[in-house]
Chains A and B, each alone.
Chain A
């Protein structure tokens, strides 16, 4: 799967995800289910960067800015409106609009990769500082107090649209998050299979050539960035929902680096890779978090370095390459 062909692998992955979504609530306990819900929400976040970076060629260090913005938008709207439908929609729209605005300055200013990375990184850090400094009664949006570094606790969680009294239970939330994950995964593959997707990949491969062929490189990049921002916002909304809590930590450097690590570990230029990378690293982070032996940052740093230096392609593309070698070159494209 390089540009945008539907392959058996995509269908297989989709079927597997639907299977997990339907089967898991029958076999795991409540705690496991909650854990898997947050993993799935994070997978959506991983997909957003996997799309923006892996296919759009835009190295964005600010994915957590959109993620956090989505979470905060949901929190503020849900508290004010008391119903989650509008909040969920806004949690996608607001980060997307912000991404569009930021993207306009970056892409129409024709900044290079490296500058993009630095600008998006600083935007994230500014959000982190800004939200941390909103402690006190003065900082409120309508009924919602922002609470600075303490975060916003006991948010209203998702309800059945139109019926604020009927909240989703953990199993229903899990179904919903998995549904979003499948929609985003399939939707992104659909997008990549379209004319637009092919142009996006072509731009990643050779920007100048695309420009000379008459495509508007800046506009395509801007759209990719905006879509990525919206998806990250959705993930942020689901994350805020999961714990009924959102704090400035969603903007932190740890968060940002996690997203990058997921994509690096899983593999650039695939959509399955970021999901796999996210699952592995989330599992590892959860396990490491419960022990006192070594600092999580330390271990993540080492894994990060090891992958960049030793497995720069990431797990999924490397395995695919191995698989391709085993079955012969003719079948390479069928292994999604």
Chain B
């Protein structure tokens, strides 16, 4: 019974992690159709921002929830202004340029912090479930992942800002004719996506630690999740995270972490063979 509860929590955690690492990409790639291969490095930068801030005496929650998204959001806006903007509509070029950007970030962070793992202790301690100890922070993470999805949903569905963003992505010319400035909307949306990614990076830093090349571990998973999710970015990301998170964690529990990762990929390839347009290409159509 205890074991079942712990396993259940492991699965929830796997799902929450996937939601966190993919949600920023769901905005940048899912909504804006910008292939951002530097996504993993955005997560890495968020992690470093949180760690550096904490080590300089900032409260860990402030560091994770405020500093990380702020820093990465600003970096995102700068990257959008300097590089992405030139390449809208040229998908392959964007992909290559952001790959270059990712190498650049890895290089510069290695130069500054060195090629070692940095980390901070997870706050909140742990509680006992029967014979097992589980970290409270991991529980909080599940709640935060759900909250982030809810906030994005409300912003996109219920606010004027969300309406403008969705409209501009749908038809930039029409939006411009109605008095919206598409370049500004693009920059803002990209910045928000980057900030969410930074937030995720900060939140994951106490759990997985950060090193300059950690992005590689995230970027493929994030893309797989968003692509498999399909057109409805939020429902899709949530559905794909649930599926892959469960597969990954259960396989990891019964075999090894590497088999878990391979299983995640195999599940994704099979899924895309059956549903080339992702989960929400067939199910939950018309949701957000």
Report the tally of A-B residue pairs with Cβ distances under 8 A. 118
Q: Which of the listed residues B96, B101, B216 has the most CB atoms from chain A within 10 Å of its own CB?
A: B96
Known contacts A295-B107, A301-B106; is-contact A122 B223 (Cβ 8 Å): yes
B106-157 residues at the A interface, CB under 8 angstroms = 106-108, 110-111
Q: Is the interface of A mostly helix, strand, loop or mixed?
A: helix
A118 to B269 CA separation, bound complex (whole angstroms):
11
Chain A 291-308, CB-CB to B under 8 Å as 1, else 0, gives: 000111111111111001
Contact A298 B103 (CB under 8 A): yes
B272 within 8 A of A: yes
Q: Which of A83-91, A123-131, A234-242 contacts B (4 or more CB under 8 A)?
A: A123-131
Q: Mark B85-107, 1 if CB is under 8 A from A, else 0.
A: 01100011101110111111111
CB of A209, distance to nearest CB on chain B (Å): 20
Proximity bits, B232-272, A CB within 8 Å = 1, else 0: 00000000000000000000000011100110010011101
Q: Does B213 touch A at the CB level, under 8 Å?
A: yes
A257 at the interface (CB under 8 A from B): yes
A115 contacts the other chain (Cβ, under 8 Å)?
A: yes
Contact A59–B97 (Cβ < 8 Å): no
Which chain A residues lie closer than 8 Å to B276 at the CB level? 109-111
Q: Which residues of B contact A305 (CB under 8 A)?
A: 83, 97, 100-101, 104
Interface flag for A6 (CB, 8 Å): no
**From residue B139, how far is it (CB to closest CB) to chain A in Å?**
27
Find out whether the CB atom of A308 lies under 8 angstroms from the CB atom of B93.
yes
Cβ-defined contact, A117 with B107, below 8 A: no
- Taking a contact as CB atoms under 8 Å apart, the answer to whether B99 and A257 are in contact is yes
Shortest beta-carbon distance, A52 to chain B, in Å? 14
Give the chain A neighbours of B95 by CB distance below 8 A.
59, 114, 117
Q: How far is the CB of A112 from chain B (nearest CB, A)?
A: 9
How near does chain B come to A83, taking the closest CB pair, in angstroms?
Answer: 32
Instruction: Please tell me if A108 contacts chain B, counting CB pairs below 8 Å.
Output: yes
Cα distance, A118 to B276, chains bound together (Å): 14
Chain A residue contacts of B216, Cβ below 8 A: 125, 253
User: Residues of A contacting B223 with CB < 8 Å?
Assistant: 118, 121-122
Whether A302 lies near B265 (C-beta < 8 A) is no
> Which A residues lie within 8 Å of B224 (CB)?
118-119, 122
Q: How far is the CA of A278 from the CA of B213 in the complex (A)?
A: 24
The residues of B that contact A260 with a CB separation of less than 8 Å are 96, 99
Give the Cβ gap from B97 to chain A, nearest Cβ, in Å.
4
Closest to B221 in A: A122
Q: Are B100 and A308 in contact (CB under 8 A)?
A: yes
Check if B265 sits within 8 Å of A126, measured CB to CB.
yes
Q: Which of A105, A108, A130, A301 contacts B100 (CB 8 A)?
A: A301
Question: With an 8 A cutoff between CB atoms, is A3 at the interface?
Answer: no
Residue from the list B91, B97, B110, B268 in contact with A297, Cβ < 8 A: B110
**Set of chain B residues within 8 Å of A298, measured between Cβ atoms:** 103-104, 106-108, 110-111
B98 to chain A, nearest CB (A): 9
Q: Which of A272-305 contact B (CB under 8 A)?
A: 294-305
Cα-based distance from A70 to B103 in the complex (angstroms): 26
Q: Is the CB of B262 within 8 A of A130?
A: yes
With a cutoff of 8 Å between Cβ atoms, the chain A residues found around residue B283 in the complex are: none
Using an 8 Å CB-CB cutoff, how does the interface string of B155-177 with A read, 1 for contact, 0 for none?
Answer: 00000000000000000000000
Contact B258 A109 (CB under 8 A): no
Specify which of A123, A303, A309 is in contact with B83 (CB 8 Å cutoff): A309
Chain B residues contacting A121 (CB-CB under 8 Å) are: 219-220, 223
Interface check B184, CB cutoff 8 A: no
Q: Which residue of B lies closest to A253 (CB)?
A: B216
Residue B35 is within 8 A (CB to CB) of chain A in the complex: yes
Which residue of chain A has the shortest Cβ distance to B266 in the bound complex? Answer: A126
Interface assignment of A205: CB less than 8 Å from any CB of chain B:
no
Question: Are A300 and B217 closer than 8 Å at their CB atoms?
Answer: no
Is B273 in the interface zone, CB < 8 Å from A?
yes
User: A131: shortest Cβ distance to chain B, in Å?
Assistant: 9
Inter-subunit contact B220/A105 (CB<8 Å): no
Interface residue B227 (Cβ < 8 Å from any Cβ of A) = yes
Bound CA–CA A107/B221 (angstroms): 21
Chain B 206-223 near chain A by CB (<8 Å), digits 1 or 0: 000000010011011101
- B272 close to A297 (CB less than 8 A): no
Chain B residue nearest to A296 (CB atoms) is: B107
| Contacting pair A109 B272 (CB below 8 A) | yes
Residue pair B272, A133 in contact (C-beta under 8 Å): no
User: A115, A119, A129, A304: which contacts B99 (Cβ < 8 A)?
Assistant: A304
Nearest CB of chain B from residue A291's CB, rounded to whole Å: 13
A-B contact pairs, 30 of them (CB 8 A): A110-B276, A114-B35, A114-B92, A118-B227, A119-B224, A119-B268, A121-B223, A122-B221, A122-B223, A126-B258, A126-B261, A126-B265, A129-B261, A130-B262, A133-B257, A133-B258, A295-B107, A295-B108, A295-B111, A296-B107, A297-B104, A297-B110, A298-B104, A298-B107, A299-B107, A301-B106, A304-B96, A308-B87, A308-B93, A308-B100
Give the 4 A-B residue pairs with the shortest CB-CB distance, closest first.
A298-B107, A301-B104, A304-B100, A301-B103
Seed contacts A117-B95, A119-B224, A309-B87; 11 additional CB < 8 Å A-B pairs: A111-B272, A122-B220, A129-B261, A297-B107, A300-B107, A301-B100, A301-B101, A303-B100, A304-B97, A304-B100, A309-B83
